[in-house]
Amino acid sequence: MRFSPIAGVALLTLSTIACSNGYAIADDDQYSDGKWVASGGAQAQGSGGETSGSPGAGGAPNSGVTSGGTAGSGNVPFDDVCDPYEPRSQPPELLIGPIGLETKLLGLIDQAQNRVDVMMYQLSRQSFISSLINAHDRGLVVRVLLDPDQSVNANAMSQLSNAGIDVRQASSAFEHAHAKIIFVDDVAAAIMSANLNDYSMVTERNYGVINRDPADLDDLARIFDADFDAKASPSLDCTRLIVSPVNARQRLLALVEGAQTSLDLAVMYLSDKSLKSAIIARAQAGVTVRVLLADPAWISSNVSTATDLAAAQIAVRYLKSWELHAKLVVADQIAFIGSENLSWTALNKNREIGLFVSEDAQSANVNAQFLSDWAAGSSAP
């Protein structure tokens, strides 16, 4: 048994979000005409990074979950959790972007009392830069780890460094440091698909959670500490988290292959061959499969993906009312939420972090948002 500082921390609520500040697709994708276009390539047929296009407008109604609580801390005993499907000691708080995300994430930072750790692919929105500087000025320990290949991070790195904050570039051991984490006081962590940029706060559909489970947070702390100091990854033989390049491929494949009645995806793109084959196999086995992809005007490779899936009699639509930046996979009401795109690089080479959400209330809200977006989707291919 181990101990972690955790107790009744104020539960923050994230409704839906929108986004507007450019960033690049990672891995083997190409930048063209002001947008990132997922391209083919080796086995991956795509990338593990991401893209943003022009601002979206309108969209289906967004849902959110609100909870209350009181702040505090303490040493609460917990056991290691190895089963990724095991419900948490405290149900995670669901975040659905875009509306309200910025307010909730800033609140998470502003309520911190001792420490704020940030692991982010792209950090460029000034509100978050200022909030981190304010936290440092309040006497908190602030550590920020950013992907080294994203030029949009330069301004944040300069401002944070000048303010005395320990901000570092992630190790080259990973193709991309693509995780999106805000970890506060060792008692709460936002784990999500959203970057801290304008797009993720204004025009994109993203999913995330605020996780307060002590076992998960202990694993997350060990990952952050190792990555921040550019050390070898800690042992994750026993963890509930979905981590690339450690266990994400195996666990996501198992989630898809285990679907018995329904399999829904809302993803920016789908390029990993093994995952695509597993999805098609589930449809051929009689599972109801629906795949929602980002607008092909933004992610051009989604046309060929939609064609392949439709040929296997899978229902496919494009979401155009919001920029679909999500990496959502829902198999029989168990939802994967995290930073991993469904690409070879994301699962095999990047640092990515996600989790399975099996708690009933949160799964129901994820399903409701998927159905709303599916209804708003356009026919494909």
Average pLDDT, the chain: 84
pLDDT computed for residue 11 by the predictor: 29
The per-residue pLDDT for range 188-247, each reduced to its tens digit, is 999 999 999 999 999 999 999 999 999 999 999 999 999 999 999 999 999 999 999 999
Residues 157-181 have pLDDT tens digits of 999 999 999 999 999 999 999 999 9
pLDDT value of position 141? 98
The least confident of 4-13, 21-30, 42-51 is 4-13
Tell me, what's the pLDDT at 171? 94
pTM of the shown model: 0.83
CA 364/CA 40 separation, integer angstroms: 35
Residue 73 has pLDDT above 50, yes or no: no
Kindly report which listed range (50-59, 245-254, 276-285, 334-343) carries the lowest average pLDDT score: 50-59
Give the Cα separation of 175 and 50 in Å (integer).
13
Of 53-62, 218-227, 286-295, least confident by mean pLDDT is 53-62
Q: Name the band, by pLDDT with cuts 50, 70 and 90, for residue 76.
A: low
Q: What is the pLDDT of residue 14?
A: 29
pLDDT at 22 over 50: no
Q: Between residues 237 and 39, which one has the greater pLDDT?
A: 237
User: How many C-beta neighbours within 10 Å does residue 67 have?
Assistant: 14
Tokens of 32: 């063209």
The reported pLDDT for the residue numbered 50 is 56
Cα 155 from chain centre: 23
Per-residue confidence band for 120, with pLDDT thresholds at 50, 70 and 90: very high
**Nearest to residue 317, comparing CAs of 291, 339, 298?**
291
User: Angle at CA 191, nearest 5°, toward 190 and 192?
Assistant: 110
Least confident of 5-14, 81-90, 269-278: 5-14
Residue 216 parent element (H or E): helix 214-228
> What is the C-alpha to C-alpha distance for residues 85 and 63, in angstroms, rounded to an integer?
24
Q: What whole-number distance in Å separates Cα of residue 82 and Cα of residue 299? A: 36
In the prediction, which pLDDT does 34 show? 31
Domains of the chain: 2-20+64-228 (3.30.870.10), 242-379 (3.30.870.10)
